[in-house]
Amino acid sequence: MDPNRRIIPKGFIAAKDSKIVSIGSGEPSGLTSDETVDASKKIVLPGLVCSHNHMYGVLSHGMPTQDAPSNFRNFLYDFWWPFVEDKLDKQQIEAAALHASVEMAKSGTTCFADILEAPYSIPGALDAEASVVREVGLRGILSFEGSERVNPRNAQASVKENLEFIKKWNQRNETIRGKFCTHTLFTCSLEFLRHVRELANEYKAGIQIHLEEGSFETEFCIKKYGQLPVAVYDRIGYLGPDLLASQCVHTRPEETAIFQRRGVKLAHMPLSNCEVGGGIAPVKQFLDAGLTVGLGTDGYITDMFEVMRAAFLIHKGYLQDASVMPAETVLEMATINGAEALGLSDQIGSLEPGKRADIILLDPTLPTPVTAGNVAAQLVTFGKGSFVQDVFVDGIRIVRDGKVVTTDEDEAKHRCNEAAESLWDKLPKRDARSRSLAT
Fold of the domain built from segment(s) 47-347: TIM Barrel (3.20.20)
Q: Give the end-to-end CA distance of the chain in Å, rounded to a whole number.
A: 33
Q: Specify the pLDDT at position 436.
A: 41
Closest listed residue to residue 394, CA positions, set 355, 421, 429: 355
What confidence category does residue 69 fall into, taking pLDDT thresholds of 50, 70 and 90?
confident
Is the pLDDT reported for residue 433 higher than 50? no
How far apart are the C-alpha atoms of 391 and 47, rounded to whole Å?
8
Is the pLDDT reported for residue 432 higher than 80? no
User: pTM of this prediction?
Assistant: 0.95
> How is the chain split into domains, by residue range?
47-347
Q: Specify the pLDDT at position 74.
A: 85
Handedness of CA 422, 424, 428, 431 (dihedral sign): negative
Q: Specify the pLDDT at position 34.
A: 75
Is the pLDDT reported for residue 196 higher than 90? yes
Mean pLDDT in residue range 236-261: 98
Question: What angle in degrees, to the nearest 10, is found between the helix axes of 90-106 and 125-136?
Answer: 30
Is residue 169 within 8 Å of 177, Cβ to Cβ? yes
3-state SS assignment for residue 23: strand
Q: Specify the pLDDT at position 430.
A: 53
Mean pLDDT in residue range 61-86: 85
Cis peptide before 326 (omega within 30 of 0): no
Is the pLDDT reported for residue 118 higher than 50? yes
Q: Picking from 27-36, 298-307, 344-353, which range would have the lowest pLDDT averaged per residue? A: 27-36
Instruction: Give the length of the chain.
Output: 439
Mean pLDDT in residue range 95-110: 98
Q: Compare 412 and 65 and report the one with higher pLDDT.
A: 412
